[in-house]
Structure 1
Amino acid sequence: MERMQTTIDIINAKHQSHHSQKKLQKIFSQVEQKPFIPHPQYRQPHLMTLAGHFWPRDKFIPEHLTEERIFQTDVEAKVLAHCHWQPNRKNIATLVMAHGLEGSSSTHYMIGTAIKAIKLGFNVLRVNQRGGGGTHYLSPSPYHPGLSDDLRAIVKELIELDQLSEIYLLGFSMGANQSLKLAGEYGESTPPQLKAICAISPPIDLAMVTRSMHRPANYFFEANFLRVLHRSLRRYHRFYPTRYDVSQQWQAFTLRRFEELFTAPCNGFSSVEEYYTLASSNRLLDKIKIPTLVIHSQDDPFIPFKMFEEARFSATTALLSPINGGHMGFLQGQVDEEDRYWSENRALEFFNLLRQGT
């Protein structure tokens, strides 16, 4: 049976440590008060996905408001973040954002969400994944959907060096899986400064996603992702020629084959099956202890909703699952005080309600 469009699922509502369940339920209920009403011309999931990407929007942030910062995330890796600080930053809530595959800190949803968050009074960090935005020179190893260690290092530095006391983490697609995986890995040891997470269109079961991506209906999108991955691989080979053997690159004509030949071995996994298992966040979802909002459409063309129906969520997690939305599309047709980017607005509303202690 199809779920109601406005239903928000609060899974296994038992006790939890950071917020009372009653208060958290109230916040989740407030977030669902603005259901997703899709743009009437883009109800088809592939069109919705494309419309969300190409719809014109404000993408201008003055340079004088932006600070570039390098984070050392492990012994050999660094990532570049673009930071937007409010006055008296230590006492201000901070939003850290992680982009998806083929994205960067300059991708439209990263900038668009940052503009709205800045207006709400948040500090904002737009983080490039390893190699994102042409930063291959900063890290000899590439990003992948299970790379939660970089986000962990960034959160740790913001707490210890910047002395920030209120951090919110927002992940998109690949970055959403990383964010959920990080929260599950933290478990009972979650830093008290990390207040909440929102994951938009997260690929929580990578094996299932790869199979779905290879369906004929998704041929165009798989080909585009492969184009981006092959281009990134060539750039890594240019900077680190002895580390990357591209002689087999011609064989990687499907996403699974690319992950088997390059993604898994380049990131220390013994096989593509081990990579799919260990990099997926679904095995850790029930260990999340902080307020978490997952936003995923039931018609996502790449990430089957079945994986969310089978997932074991924690008591502090809510799943907001409209019938329509595509993959990170969520372009709404009715606009009052908001822009058309419904999922971004629900994420910011969720964080703002928590920040206000509603």
Structure 2
Amino acid sequence: MNQNSIEAVNFTPLAGLHNPHLQTLLPRLLRRRVHLKPHWQRLDLPDGDFVDLAWSEDPQGAKHKPRVVLFHGLEGSIRSPYAHGLMQACQQQGWLSVVMHFRGCSGVPNRLNRIYHSGETEDARFFLNWLRSTWGEVPTAAIGVSLGGNMLACLLGEQRGDIPLEAAVVISAPLELEPCSVKLESGFSRFYQYYLLTQLKKNALRKLRAWPDSLPVDLLQLKGFRRLRDFDDAVTSRAHGFVDAGDYYRRASAMPLLKQIETPLLIIHAKDDPFMTDAVIPSHEQLSASTTYQLTTHGGHVGFVGGSLRRPQMWLEQRVPQWLTPWLEATT
């Protein structure tokens, strides 16, 4: 099952709609409503801050079920189409799922003078160990999407202590941050940069209003940012101990850590992902023996919409549970 190879995968995009931008945007049209009624929980962190959890159901009555943890993308949340879509798919399998919102991403500003970033693994490590100690030992898997996927790959690659996961899936992750930052400054990809930067500014503004002086910029500086790199230079890097955006991109990219991963891992990328370049496609030598790498021709960024206009199908919601089943069901 662990092929340690790069190969094309049988994903067929929706007829006539294989364009990467259409693939990227379609899930927002097809998954507009959140049908799940999440059970919310606040988890206090060791440093005095918190993260908010959104469960597919009350974990108190579902402690015996296999668990799936989801780490969202930049400024994502349970409201992101891929998040509640994958949670529904897990629910249909009889699994308990939970989104760990990165600091400040649940709609409530976090308390401390920091936020989150692509290589910040300590919150996820604490959360996974808390899951095991609080809700018991059951088969557990993690899914990381985009920024959350890079973070999850970093966590797995660091291998510091026991990571309580049977398996993991990383989807559309910017495994090399620098070339992805450059890609978002050209062509139609600038649309995504504009959208993400707008969301980052809104979140930062909300935080500054709740906690003045909690970020290393003021409102005037915040309004002046035109690129994601500007935000990473002034906010992300300075709030987390990096020299600048370039230093952050180098030190937070997961690519150099892939070879060290021991947990069974599936990485899914689309070759036409408008957020990325070929620089994020690892070579055979960069992958560990426990990693399966699947590269599709089409799919966009966290898109992968197949089927027909009358019956569109979310391929990720089929492929991810299919791949995870052997590890989550083996010991139950």
TM-score normalised by structure 1 residue count: 0.84
Aligned pair partner of 1:89 in 48, 62, 86: 62
Alignment deviations for residues 248-286 of structure 1 (CA, whole Å, 9 cap, x no partner): 224421111211111111122122222111211111111
| Number of the residue aligned with 1:79 | 51
Partners of 1:161 and 1:318 in 2: CA distance: 31
* 2:9 is aligned with 1:38: no
Partners of 1:164 and 1:279 in 2: CA distance: 30
| Number of the residue aligned with 1:312 | 286
Q: What's the secondary structure of 2:214's corresponding residue?
A: coil
Partners of 2:135 and 2:244 in 1: CA distance: 39
Aligned pair partner of 1:10 in 3, 10, 14: 3
Partners of 1:121 and 1:342 in 2: CA distance: 19
Partners of 1:57 and 1:243 in 2: CA distance: 33
Q: Are the equivalent residues in 2 in contact too, given 1:95–1:170 (CA < 8 A)? A: yes
- More deviation in 304-313 or 212-221? 304-313
Counterpart AA for 2:23: M
| Number of the residue aligned with 2:192 | 221
Gaps of 5+ in 2: none
**What are the within-5 Å matches in structure 2 for residues 119-130 of structure 1?**
119-130=92-103
Partners of 2:177 and 2:88 in 1: CA distance: 31
Q: Are the equivalent residues in 1 in contact too, given 2:72–2:144 (CA < 8 A)? A: yes
Partners of 2:191 and 2:269 in 1: CA distance: 21
* 2:300 is aligned with 1:326: yes
Q: Are the equivalent residues in 2 in contact too, given 1:299–1:305 (CA < 8 A)? A: no
Q: What's the secondary structure of 1:125's corresponding residue?
A: strand
Task: Report the CA distance between 1:108 and its aligned residue.
Answer: 2.0
Task: Report the CA distance between 1:92 and its aligned residue.
Answer: 2.1
Partners of 1:205 and 1:120 in 2: CA distance: 33
Counterpart AA for 1:235: R
Instruction: Determine what percentage of the aligned residue pairs are the same residue.
Output: 25
Q: What's the secondary structure of 2:156's corresponding residue?
A: helix
| Number of the residue aligned with 1:21 | none
Alignment deviations for residues 201-225 of structure 1 (CA, whole Å, 9 cap, x no partner): 0111111110111112312111111
| Number of the residue aligned with 2:209 | 238
Q: What's the secondary structure of 1:190's corresponding residue?
A: coil
Partners of 2:241 and 2:206 in 1: CA distance: 20
* 2:104 is aligned with 1:131: yes
Q: What's the secondary structure of 1:81's corresponding residue?
A: strand
Q: What's the secondary structure of 2:135's corresponding residue?
A: coil
Task: Report the CA distance between 1:103 and its aligned residue.
Answer: 1.3
| Number of the residue aligned with 1:70 | 42
Gaps of 5+ in 1: 1-7, 13-27
Gap change, CA 1:190 and 1:35, over 3 Å in 2: farther
- Number of aligned residues: 327
Counterpart AA for 1:69: Q
Partners of 1:288 and 1:327 in 2: CA distance: 24
**What are the within-5 Å matches in structure 2 for residues 1-358 of structure 1?**
10-11=3-4, 35-56=10-31, 59-62=34-37, 66-83=38-55, 84-85=57-58, 89-186=62-159, 189-191=161-163, 193-244=164-215, 245-246=217-218, 247-310=220-283, 312-333=286-307, 340-357=313-330
Q: CA RMSD in A?
A: 2.6
Q: Are the equivalent residues in 2 in contact too, given 1:48–1:330 (CA < 8 A)? A: yes
TM-score normalised by structure 2 residue count: 0.90
Partners of 2:288 and 2:3 in 1: CA distance: 9
Partners of 1:298 and 1:156 in 2: CA distance: 35
Q: What's the secondary structure of 2:188's corresponding residue?
A: helix
Q: Are the equivalent residues in 2 in contact too, given 1:131–1:139 (CA < 8 A)? A: no
Q: What's the secondary structure of 1:170's corresponding residue?
A: strand
Partners of 1:124 and 1:179 in 2: CA distance: 16
Gap change, CA 1:219 and 1:72, over 3 Å in 2: same
Partners of 1:39 and 1:138 in 2: CA distance: 44
